[in-house]
Amino acid sequence: MCRDEWDKHKRMVWAMILKEAPEDDARDLLQDICLAFCKRLPKPPPIKDKRKFLARITRNKIVDYIKKRIREREHLEPVESYEQLQAGARDPDARIALEQLFRRVTDLNELEKRVLSLRHGYGLQYPDIGEALDITANHARKIKNKAAQKIEAFYDREGGEA
């Protein structure tokens, strides 16, 4: 049963993974996701929408992977403007640089850093950010906008680009 369900949705999972991870890491993620899906599938209560359930598992595993990459690679130069922050969405190295930018802008609190990182660094949508941080999508949007204003003010004070 698991094999049949997995085969129906494997291409969707693979496409989601490849947006965020290099192929070598993507293969490991694919295997982890398959195992998590197959472990849960036979347990009650039955899963009504297996595609949606698998997409959620995939999204969670990708977020975990990205967080791990951030912790492992702290050595990159920070970005120099808010425009670079917005432009660096899909590149793992750019995501690391974003994290370093957040450390330079000391006005940001932890929640603001996390929302900006998930939105601009990882390309997550506000509902996904809200789910990951246990806040509403609207609250995530407001936090992102406030944090963006703080970064722009930082660059105005420092004489850099905004």
- The upper half-sphere exposure of residue 158, i.e. CA atoms within 13 Å in the direction of its Cβ, equals 15
pLDDT at 59 over 70: yes
Contact present, 93 and 126 (Cβ < 8 Å): no
Q: Is 13 helix (H, G, I), strand (E, B) or coil?
A: helix
What integer best gives the mean pLDDT of the chain?
Answer: 78
- pLDDT recorded at residue 116: 81
| Least confident interval from 28-42, 44-58, 122-136 | 122-136
State percent of the chain over pLDDT 70: 76
Q: Which residue has the higher pLDDT, 131 or 123?
A: 131
pTM above 0.75, yes or no: no
Residue 93: what pLDDT? Answer: 64
Domain boundary assignment for the chain? 2-72, 82-158
Assigned CATH for 82-158: 1.10.10
pLDDT per position as a tens digit, 64-95: 887 777 665 544 444 455 555 555 545 566 66
Phi-psi category of residue 124: left, alpha or beta, with phi > 0 → left and psi -120 to 50 → alpha:
beta
Residue 159 reports pLDDT greater than 80: no
Give the model's pLDDT for residue 139: 95
Residue 75 pLDDT:
43
CATH number for the domain running over 2-72: 1.10.1740
Q: What is the pLDDT of residue 7?
A: 92
Question: The dihedral of CA 86, 125, 55, 62: what is its sign?
Answer: positive
